[in-house]
């Protein structure tokens, strides 16, 4: 067994609920509430409908509940469908380079229901998944330069989280990790240029593969025991030469407390640019026609992710628009608000928005490259036809640990996302129980809170 398999399986077997500080448990609750809110907000979108329709074709005992229904499908199908619901809006939390660690929450809840695990075990599994995804993302950033996608980490993290709620031993956990890692290397083409529906499905697909790996290991399937360090394993094939740092516990803080929540429904780089754009709207209200150009200064990764090709200056679908700095800035600057309706087709094709986008320039600066990733700096300068300049800057968008969202703000986001499909009493009941989820006997009790009539 290679050192990484040994370390990860040892860590997952050893970690217990009693080891977790109260603050870490509270952060898990915040992330679960946030993720479920995102799922209900995306419930009616086309990709979630597609994934849900596929999952509804199967019935399984034991199985896992498809969110929004009382139907139990296979664990893999429910993990994918629920994961697509939670991920599609691009509104769930994010980390520096590891993508969106909350992509692991829906598959872990599905696996916990399948295995009849209590919620305290599920909470531990979520903490473990965050550790894996965050630490891998922090030390193996080079995989993207070789064309691979950070969804790879979701499969590894979900496999270990699912293995934890299934009660697998160390050897089985190692096999689950191997079976999740070796067959499943996602490509970063998913997030380049004109984006497709798959952008919101790639991580849920990896999570589905992760829980499938845990299921196979549970039944006795073995996998290569040099999955990471072997001559043709993860490090060699993905161009990732790294040593994993210390994981959470003891004097080392847990990763889940350092990740960033979102207050706007867009890629993290794009959503950081929304705040200064909203502030400029207040300054320039009624004077948009006088703008000659808009200069956006930021860091290289923001350009790489959300201003990489001319597609980001002429989006035609939601997937490209929510990864477009020019689009979100043009919308926020022109109307002073930003929410889900700004990704409807009529808004995306608005000729006035497109005209404003063409006045936008996005570039990285040495100053901001040095500040990132400790800060996520954006400086927007709007210059009028008369030469007058108006500038606003942000370094820590709302939701960053240095500018955190309060519990009340997390609840408000959950309510606003859920209101189109859930009534007030159902929302109140869900929130009351989710804040006390460690007392719940089974993840099924959580998913049952979201069953929609009809």
Which range, 8-12, 94-98, 264-268, is most confident?
8-12
Percent of the chain with pLDDT over 70: 98
* Sheet bearing 389-394, strands edge to edge: 360-364, 291-298, 378-384, 389-394
Token pair of 341 as six digits:
């309706």
Contacts of 138 (CB under 8 A, 6+ apart): 95, 96, 97, 98, 245
152 vs 299, residue with greater confidence: 299
Separation CA 84–CA 223 (nearest Å): 28
Token pair of 11 as six digits:
């860590």
* Per-residue H/E/C for 185-250: CCEHHHHCCCCCHHHHCHHHHHHHHHHHHHHHHHCCCCCCCCCCCCCCCHHHHHCCCCCCCCCCEC
pLDDT of residue 205: 92
Percent of the chain with pLDDT over 90: 79
- The answer to whether 361 and 294 are in contact (CB under 8 A) is yes
Which range, 194-203, 240-249, 436-445, is most confident?
436-445
Separation CA 111–CA 157 (nearest Å): 13
Contacts of 105 (CB under 8 A, 6+ apart): 31, 32, 35, 86, 126, 129
Please confirm whether the linkage preceding 62 is cis (ω < 30° from 0): yes
pLDDT of residue 244: 81
* Per-residue H/E/C for 64-127: EECCCCCCEECHHHHHHHHHHHHHCCCCCCECCCCCCHHHHHHHHHHHHHHHCCCHHHHHHHHH
Least confident residue range of 35-49, 173-187, 423-437: 173-187
Which among 97, 95, 100 has a CA at the least distance from the CA of 39?
100
Separation CA 162–CA 176 (nearest Å): 9
Q: What dihedral angle (degrees, nearest 10) is formed by the CA atoms of 154, 409, 88, 349?
A: -140
Separation CA 354–CA 226 (nearest Å): 51
Report the chain's mean pLDDT, rounded to a whole number: 93
pLDDT tens-digit readout, 113-125:
999 999 999 999 9
- The answer to whether 115 and 167 are in contact (CB under 8 A) is yes
User: How far, CA to CA in Å, does 266 sit from each of 198, 319, 356, 443?
Assistant: 16, 9, 19, 29
Separation CA 258–CA 342 (nearest Å): 29
pLDDT tens-digit readout, 127-175:
999 999 998 888 776 677 777 888 889 999 999 999 999 999 999 999 9
Helix, strand or coil, per DSSP, at residue 292: strand
For the beta carbon of residue 278, count every other beta carbon within 10 angstroms: 20
- The answer to whether 285 and 117 are in contact (CB under 8 A) is no
- The answer to whether 346 and 356 are in contact (CB under 8 A) is no
Mean per-residue pLDDT for 52-57?
A: 96
Tell me the whole-structure pTM to 2 decimals. Answer: 0.94
Query: Tell me, what DSSP letter sits at residue 266?
Result: S
Question: pLDDT grade, residue 454 (50/70/90)?
Answer: low
Between vectors from CA 415 to CA 411 and to CA 421, what angle results, nearest 5°?
150
pLDDT of residue 196: 87
Separation CA 168–CA 12 (nearest Å): 10
pLDDT tens-digit readout, 405-428:
999 999 999 999 999 999 999 999
Query: Tell me, what DSSP letter sits at residue 252?
Result: B
Q: What dihedral angle (degrees, nearest 10) is formed by the CA atoms of 413, 418, 419, 425?
A: -100
Contacts of 341 (CB under 8 A, 6+ apart): 347
Helix, strand or coil, per DSSP, at residue 402: coil
Mean per-residue pLDDT for 250-258?
A: 91
DSSP codes joined into one string, 278-342: HHHHHHHTT-GGGEEEEEEEE-HHHHHHHSSSGGGGS--SHHHHTT-HHHHHHHHHHHS---GGG
Report residue 452 CA to chain centroid gap. 24
pLDDT of residue 97: 66
Helix, strand or coil, per DSSP, at residue 440: coil
Query: Tell me, what DSSP letter sits at residue 137?
Result: H
Domains of the chain are 3-263+426-448 (1.10.4100.10), 268-394 (3.30.1330.120)
Token pair of 130 as six digits:
């965050």
pLDDT of residue 313: 97
Mean per-residue pLDDT for 17-23?
A: 96
Question: pLDDT grade, residue 99 (50/70/90)?
Answer: confident
Separation CA 358–CA 160 (nearest Å): 46
Bridge partners for 260 per DSSP: 94
Separation CA 142–CA 209 (nearest Å): 23
Token pair of 125 as six digits:
């599994």
| Residue 98: pLDDT over 70 | no
Mean per-residue pLDDT for 263-275?
A: 91
């Amino acid at each position: 067994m290679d050192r990484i398999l040994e370390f990860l399986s040892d860590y997952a077997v050893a970690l217990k609920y009693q080891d977790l500080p109260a603050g870490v448990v509270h952060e898990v609750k915040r992330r679960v509430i946030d993720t479920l809110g995102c799922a209900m907000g995306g419930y009616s979108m086309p990709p979630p409908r597609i994934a849900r329709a596929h999952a509804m074709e199967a019935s399984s005992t034991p199985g896992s509940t498809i969110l929004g229904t009382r139907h139990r499908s296979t664990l893999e199908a429910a993990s994918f469908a629920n994961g697509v619901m939670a991920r599609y809006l691009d509104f769930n939390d994010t980390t520096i380079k590891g993508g969106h660690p909350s992509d692991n929450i829906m598959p872990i809840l599905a696996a916990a229901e399948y295995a009849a695990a209590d919620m305290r075990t599920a909470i531990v599994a979520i903490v473990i998944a965050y550790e894996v995804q965050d630490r891998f993302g922090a030390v193996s950033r080079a995989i993207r330069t070789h064309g691979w996608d950070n969804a790879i980490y979701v499969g590894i993290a979900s496999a270990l989280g699912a293995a934890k709620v299934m009660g697998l031993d160390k050897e089985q956990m190692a096999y689950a990790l191997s079976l999740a890692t070796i067959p499943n290397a996602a490509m970063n083409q998913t997030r380049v240029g004109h984006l497709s529906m798959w952008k919101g499905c790639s991580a849920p697909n990896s999570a589905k593969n992760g829980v499938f790996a845990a299921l196979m290991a549970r039944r006795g399937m073995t996998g290569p025991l040099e999955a990471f360090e072997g001559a043709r394993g993860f490090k060699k094939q993905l161009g990732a030469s790294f040593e994993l740092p210390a994981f959470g516990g003891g004097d080392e803080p847990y990763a889940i407390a350092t990740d960033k929540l979102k207050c706007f429904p867009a890629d993290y780089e794009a959503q950081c640019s929304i705040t200064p754009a909203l502030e400029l709207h207040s300054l320039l209200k009624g004077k948009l026609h006088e703008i000659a150009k808009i200069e956006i200064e930021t860091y290289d990764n923001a350009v790489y992710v959300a201003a990489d090709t001319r597609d980001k200056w002429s989006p035609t679908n939601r997937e490209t628009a929510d990864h477009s700095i020019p689009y979100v800035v043009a919308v926020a600057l022109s109307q002073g608000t930003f929410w889900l309706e700004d990704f409807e087709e009529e808004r995306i094709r608005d000729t006035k928005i497109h005209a404003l986008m063409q006045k936008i320039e996005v570039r990285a600066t040495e100053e901001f490259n040095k500040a990132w990733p400790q800060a996520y700096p954006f400086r927007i300068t709007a210059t009028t036809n008369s030469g007058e300049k108006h500038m606003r800057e942000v370094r820590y968008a709302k939701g960053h640990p240095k500018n955190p969202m309060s519990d009340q703000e997390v609840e408000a986001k959950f309510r606003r996302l859920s209101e189109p499909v859930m009534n007030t009493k159902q929302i109140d009941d869900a929130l009351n129980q989710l804040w006390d989820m460690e007392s719940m006997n089974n993840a099924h009790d959580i998913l049952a809170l979201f069953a929609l009539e009809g």
